[in-house]
Amino acid sequence: MYHEGQTYHSIGEHTLWVQGSQSGWDKHQGTIQLTVFADGILRVKSLMFFRGQGVTSIIAKEKKEYDLPVVIKFNPKAYANEKNFLEWLDEPLVPVLNCQPTLHALELFRAHTTQQIQDTFLAKDITVSFILGRCRSLVQPLDVGISRPFKNILKVF
Distance of alpha carbon 84 from alpha carbon 36, whole angstroms:
18
Find all residues with CB under 8 Å of 146, minimum gap 6, and list them.
34, 36
User: pLDDT at position 108, please?
Assistant: 82
Q: How confident is the model at residue 119 (pLDDT cuts 50, 70, 90)?
A: very high
- For 5-63, the pLDDT digits (tens) are 444 455 566 665 555 555 454 456 677 777 878 888 888 888 877 777 776 777 777 77
At residue 139 the predicted structure's pLDDT band, cuts being 50, 70 and 90, is low
Task: Quote the CA–CA distance of 7 and 17 in Å, as a whole number.
Answer: 6
pLDDT of 2 above 60: no
